Amino acid sequence: MLLREYGRKHSGALKVRDFDFEVKAVGDDGTFSGYGSVFGTVDSYGEIVAPGAFTESLAEIAAKGRPVPILWQHRSGEPIGAWTNLKEDQRGLFGDGELLIADVAQAREAHALAKRKIVTGLSIGYWVRESSYDEKTGIRTLTKLDLVEISLVTFPANDDARVESVKFKLAHGELPTEREMEKYLREVGFSKSKAAGFVAHGLTELRRRESDRDPANNPGLKALSDTLAGFSLKSA
């Protein structure tokens, strides 16, 4: 079977997904609007967000009457504003953001940087409720997500963030995608053939076993995490 379904609620660690900062304009009052997520686009991790992935989460957020926070660089202790009117359209997840520039010092700094286009990234933090994985294409489709926050970030999808993300996933019992793992291995010094060989055999086998046991107690993942923990990016 090429397509595998995963439906464990909130499995693994909180995940992030980066995008270019797609906003119409950042107003002098700190308001802006734009897409925090786009449907149907394969990202650098080999994942796609499916239309409707946020439907249930948005309904639950609306019922609670609490806005989705804008965080600075995914730092939970540094909220700088709030998202309102979040909704799905044909393209993706669209909403209005407001930086609290009158009350929060970091929001004023973020506003100045965004106005000058120094800060150019949006990144969502979310839990995966449901997803499917196509073993033939190596693409994971995210079909149901819990939206937690949408951050302003300086570098969307930079190499260091990708490498640390792989380490973090393994340390917390979660497997990276095949594409993500191969990029990671290439970045830390493995040849293309060795990286591809590891992904084709070792990672694929671990993925097949992942749904059959608690990933947090998977000895294979722990061994892989321990082995790769000491690797870092190659020097230029």
pLDDT band at 30 (very low <50, low <70, confident <90, very high): very high
117 is a domain residue: yes
Q: Who's near 22: CB < 8 A, 6+ residues apart? A: 34, 35, 38, 122
Q: Are residues 56 and 171 in the same domain?
A: no
Q: Are residues 142 and 192 in the same domain?
A: no
Q: Between 118 and 229, whose confidence is greater? A: 118
pLDDT in tens, 200-226: 877 767 666 655 445 455 565 556 655
What is the rounded distance in angstroms from the CA atom of residue 54 to the CA atom of residue 73?
22
Look up the domain containing 34 and give its range.
15-155
- Integer CA distances (angstroms), 110 to 24, 88, 196, in order: 17, 26, 40
128 is a domain residue: yes
- DSSP E strand stretches across the chain: 3-6, 15-20, 22-23, 31-38, 47-49, 68-72, 75-88, 92-99, 121-134, 139-153
118 is a domain residue: yes
State CA 78 to chain mean position distance.
Answer: 19
51 is a domain residue: yes
Average pLDDT on 102-109 reads 97
- Among 120, 135, 155, the domain-final residue is 155
Give the number of domains in the chain. Answer: 2
Q: Measured on CA atoms in the order 147, 210, 202, 2, is the torsion positive or negative?
A: negative
Q: Are residues 111 and 148 in the same domain?
A: yes
What is the rounded distance in angstroms from the CA atom of residue 172 to the CA atom of residue 39?
27
- Look at residue 75 in the predicted model and tell me its pLDDT: 87
227 is a domain residue: no
Q: Between 59 and 22, whose confidence is greater? A: 59
Q: Are residues 151 and 164 in the same domain?
A: no
Q: Who's near 182: CB < 8 A, 6+ residues apart? A: 195, 196, 199
Q: Are residues 25 and 61 in the same domain?
A: yes
What is the rounded distance in angstroms from the CA atom of residue 153 to the CA atom of residue 185?
25
Q: Are residues 30 and 106 in the same domain?
A: yes
142 is a domain residue: yes
What is the rounded distance in angstroms from the CA atom of residue 236 to the CA atom of residue 215?
35
Q: Are residues 106 and 207 in the same domain?
A: no
Q: Are residues 141 and 54 in the same domain?
A: yes
Whether pLDDT at 186 is above 80: no
Whether pLDDT at 191 is above 90: no
Residue 27 buriedness (CB in 10 A; 0-12 / 13-18 / 19+):
middle
- Look at residue 169 in the predicted model and tell me its pLDDT: 62
- Look at residue 182 in the predicted model and tell me its pLDDT: 79
